[in-house]
């Protein structure tokens, strides 16, 4: 059948909507002959994986891209897109193995395997079509976790936007994902025998693994590389329209991030979705009100940043707290992240360009700690870790936060210094003045008509 190219957009949309139905009718997919596979769980996890990838490209790309000056917009988009590609390869080659190879692990026994995986799954060895993780194919689990390994380094890039060499950024992120992300991920999520797991530290979707990890690395990077030219003068975003679009995409994609971390289409996923929505909306309203009271007017940038703060803070708690816990986390994260992105940054004088630490670092810490209290069933939560009281759970959460801060901070500093000594971290002053779009990529995001 010949399809006319001059169809209206509505006709094309109807055709695109019909294609999945036609494919299901005429090309039914074979059912994997594995007793433990659940097709409903698998369908949800395929969707969740796509949603989390959507968070980085285009969500985070546009959110960050709108916040920088016009002469640097392409550099930010390039960083997010290139990291998506390179982190995929790192994950396939060795990252997944370092994070989820469980050989040598034993519940209650502390050894090297408690802190980092081996190379038994390097190059995805043994990850075939029949392999399962829970009730979903391991291939789906690999890809789902890959999207987390992609977005975490991309979050860090917001701290040194507009001034780091592209080559230095790529080298640092490869080293960082290997030496920092993979071990923290392994300790938190790889099961019995993993250090954080055995201590009962609750992190459902990445408060420590993603947000504290990235936020602390972002703060260290901002301190090491130094301030942008012209900072602390006014450096306004070039397009808040783009930023709002990006933030909206992040909000939608975050349901895959949090509800997908249930690894099943079940009640836990449903509750994670509900509390994510509640905390996000609450934090956005809280930030808006605080800003309104302090400055006399609510800003668009403030309300979308508040929403992201709520998304961050509910992440570790999304599988543990109930609706009222989500409300509390939303309020506290809205206030705390507003303080972190404004008062704290200005008081200490560091140039965290896009508030990666102020939102992700502070929000991650708030969420991780508040998980310890509001996970209790007496406070409407889903239950503390086995054998824990509220006090012991809070202590465990604090231990996880402190270890992550120290490990991510120290190793990130060492890696940045290594990269600086090898190829240099910062672009030349003239290149920074011209903008990274032209100086690093020989392109412009916008061209004015002559």
Per-residue pLDDT, 35:
56
Q: List, in order, residues 6 or more apart from 311 with CB less than 8 Å away.
A: 250, 251, 254, 276, 279, 280, 283
CA atoms of 57 and 147, how far apart (whole Å): 10
Average pLDDT over residues 232-244: 92
Closest CA to 129 of 261, 263, 31: 31
Provide the pLDDT for residue 22.
41
- Asked which of 255-269, 341-355, 406-420 is least confident by mean pLDDT, the reply is 341-355
Tell me whether the omega of the peptide bond preceding residue 232 falls within 30 degrees of 0, making it cis: yes
Q: What is the pLDDT of residue 4?
A: 46
pLDDT for 379 equals 85
pLDDT tens-digit readout, 381-400:
888 898 899 999 999 999 99
Could you report the per-residue pLDDT of 4-55, keeping only the tens digit for each? 444 444 453 444 444 444 433 333 333 333 459 999 999 999 999 999 999 9
CB 309 within 8 A of CB 337: yes
Return d(Cα 161, Cα 351) in angstroms, integer: 10
182-207: pLDDT as tens digits: 999 999 999 999 999 999 999 999 99
Whole-number Å distance between alpha carbons of 353 and 154: 14
pLDDT at 96 over 80: yes
Rounded Cα–Cα distance for residues 164 and 224 (Å) = 11
The whole-number pLDDT of residue 448 equals 67
47-108+132-441 fold: Ammonium transporter fold (1.10.3430)
Diameter of the chain measured on Cα atoms: 71
Extents of the domains making up the chain: 47-108+132-441
Task: Quickly count: other Cβ atoms within 10 Å of residue 153's Cβ.
Answer: 28
Query: What pLDDT band is residue 71 in, cutting at 50, 70 and 90?
Result: very high
| Percent of the chain with pLDDT strictly greater than 70 | 92
pLDDT at 221 over 90: yes
Q: At 380, is the pLDDT very low, low, confident or very high (cuts 50, 70, 90)? A: confident
Q: Say what the pLDDT of residue 189 is.
A: 97
> What integer is the mean pLDDT of 213-222?
97
Q: Kindly state the helix (H) or strand (E) to which residue 260 belongs, with its residue range.
A: none
C-alpha 77/C-alpha 64 separation (Å) is 8
Mean of pLDDT over the chain: 91
Q: Indicate whether 95 pLDDT > 70.
A: yes
Q: pLDDT grade, residue 230 (50/70/90)? A: confident
pLDDT of residue 30: 36
The 10s digit of each residue's pLDDT in 111-132 is 999 999 999 999 999 999 999 9
CA torsion through residues 244, 246, 252, 254, sign: negative
332 in Cβ contact with 370 (< 8 Å): yes
């Amino acid at each position: 059948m010949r399809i006319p190219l001059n169809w209206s957009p509505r006709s094309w949309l109807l055709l695109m909507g019909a294609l999945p139905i036609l494919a299901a009718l005429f090309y039914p997919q074979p059912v994997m002959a594995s007793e433990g596979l659940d097709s409903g769980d698998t369908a949800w996890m395929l969707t969740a994986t796509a949603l989390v990838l959507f968070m980085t490209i285009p969500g985070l790309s546009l959110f960050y891209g709108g916040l920088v000056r016009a002469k640097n917009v392409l550099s930010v988009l390039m960083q997010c897109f290139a990291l998506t590609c390179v982190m995929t390869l790192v994950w396939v080659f060795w990252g997944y193995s370092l994070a989820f190879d469980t050989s040598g692990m034993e519940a209650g026994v502390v050894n090297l395997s408690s802190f980092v995986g081996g190379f038994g799954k390097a190059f995805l060895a043994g990850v075939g079509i029949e392999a399962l993780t829970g009730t979903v194919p391991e291939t789906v689990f690999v890809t789902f976790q890959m999207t987390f390994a992609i977005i975490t380094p991309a979050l860090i890039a917001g701290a040194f936007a507009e001034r780091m060499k592209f080559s230095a950024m790529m080298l640092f992120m490869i080293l960082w994902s290997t030496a920092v992300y993979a071990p923290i991920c392994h300790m938190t999520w790889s099961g019995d025998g993993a250090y954080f797991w055995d201590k009962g530290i609750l992190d459902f979707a990445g408060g420590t693994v993603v947000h504290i990890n990235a936020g602390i690395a972002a703060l260290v990077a901002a301190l090491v590389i130094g301030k942008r030219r012209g900072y602390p003068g006014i450096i306004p975003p070039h397009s808040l329209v783009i930023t709002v679009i990006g933030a909206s995409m992040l909000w939608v994609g975050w349901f895959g991030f949090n509800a997908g971390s249930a690894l099943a289409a079940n009640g836990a996923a449903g509750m994670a979705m509900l509390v994510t929505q509640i905390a996000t909306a609450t934090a956005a309203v809280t930030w808006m009100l605080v800003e309104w009271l302090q400055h006399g007017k609510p800003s668009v940038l403030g309300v979308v940043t508040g929403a992201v703060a709520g998304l961050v803070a509910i992440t570790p708690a999304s599988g543990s707290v109930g609706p009222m816990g989500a409300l509390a986390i939303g309020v506290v994260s809205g206030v705390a992240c507003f303080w972190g992105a404004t008062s704290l940054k200005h008081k200490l004088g560091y140039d965290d360009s896009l508030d990666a630490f102020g939102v992700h670092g502070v929000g991650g810490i708030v969420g991780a700690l508040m998980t310890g209290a509001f996970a209790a069933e007496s406070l409407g939560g889903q239950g503390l870790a086995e054998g824990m009281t509220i006090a012991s759970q809070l202590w465990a959460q604090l231990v996880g936060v402190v270890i992550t801060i120290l490990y991510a901070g120290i190793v990130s500093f060492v890696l940045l210094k290594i990269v600086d000594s090898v190829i240099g971290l910062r672009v030349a002053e003239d290149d920074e003045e011209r903008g990274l779009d032209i100086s690093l990529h020989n392109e412009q995001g916008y061209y004015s008509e002559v």
